[in-house]
Amino acid sequence: MKDCEYQQISPGAAPPPASPGARRPGPAAPPGPGPGPPPPAAAPRWSSSGSGSGSLGRRPRRKWEVFPGRNRFYCGGRLMLAGHGGVFALTLLLILTTTVLFFVFDCPFLARQLTLAIPIIAAILFFFVMSCLLQTSFTDPGILPRATVCEAAALEKQIDNTGSSTYRPPPRTREVMINGQMVKLKYCFTCKMFRPPRTSHCSVCDNCVERFDHHCPWVGNCVGRRNYRFFYAFILSLSFLTAFIFACVVTHLTLRSQGSNFLSTLKETPASVLELVICFFSIWSILGLSGFHTYLVASNLTTNEDIKGSWSSKRGGEASVNPYSHKSVITNCCAVLCGPLPPSLIDRRGFVQADTVLPSPIRSDEPACGAKPDASMVLASPLGNQIGLSTQVACFPAFDRRQAESGRRAGPPPCVSPTDT
């Protein structure tokens, strides 16, 4: 039964035919000053609550409002951040505090005594650092959409319809060949799919991230394929900015202490002392992090692969060759930092549509899966064409009508899942 029915009555429509025994109405009365015809009804407003085909009186919701991960969205879904933002706020506070104190208390003295280039260089470095930080924090790191309802239901149906006590569930790993190296693909029980190569599930954000490097609380986001270049530029430029401010503050204090006691100079400039302390304790970790990621970029590795020892003997295993390395430092740097930025695979700004029920037996003139991939927020399908794999493996294989006809006779589930191939 439909949720609600609407009937439109035309003023000029003929009255329905009267029954044979009914009395005929008399002549119509002349028009008087009575009320006119009722105003037309307003157009219904549809709701996106997901119950039924639509309700009245509510605005449609966008997909970022029902996103399954633990991310937070701002500006109508245009910006995204991890669920916790306290450490990210601390990062902003430290950078802004140190830079503002430097411009207020150190730059005027250094510009008069030395050169005007000091505040100009500091301003350029500061704006570049903030730009890279915000791009790293608010950019989609490469989140892969979860399996659709159709694919997840097909997998469950395949497991439940065996009817055999000796049945073993399908294997949760697969192996693919990449540049002569065997790579394992693990199954993600949360996203209901086999993860593509170099993809890992972040336990903090609860998303599968392509080319997952690590989750960085200092930037408030995962670092993956789509924002790694911004993260590397951020830590590298922050190293230069911290070292520059540290050197300028030391120069400022040295020039001020000429002809007087150094301790009295420190008492006269408490802001410079605070900058000196912040930069001194920050520069070592920032420089070490920049050097470590420079090594990873030159080797075409990720932090996740380096910690797990995927292509080395760190955990006592047999060392293997990194299949993603181009055997050249320059080529690896260009591949990691200068390649085209892939598009986001999640549609955050799209509208949530009504839930689509899975079809019962498939007819030859219908598509294999009746459910649209709204819940998984897929921009395009199949997913294998979006992530650019060269392994001839698609996470969600297509389903043609010949397979539907043969499958209807044999009895497998109507929708193909990642474990059907």
- Which residues lie closer than 8 Å to 388 by C-beta, 6 or more apart? 342
**DSSP letters for 44-95:** PPB--S-STT--BS-PPPBGGGG-SSS-EEETTTTEEE-S--HHHHHHHHHH
- Catalytic residue, from 150, 205, 216, 395: name it: 216
- Which residues lie closer than 8 Å to 363 by C-beta, 6 or more apart? none
Query: Cβ(187)–Cβ(151) under 8 Å?
Result: no
Decide if 107 is catalytic. no
Q: Please give the Cα distance from 310 to 376 (Å, whole number).
A: 30
Strand-pairing partners, residue 221, are 216
Return the structure tokens found at 171: 């294997």
Alpha helix (H) residue ranges in 139-213: 149-160
Q: At what angle do helices 117-138 and 86-101 cross, to 10 degrees?
A: 170
* Residues labelled as active-site residues: 216
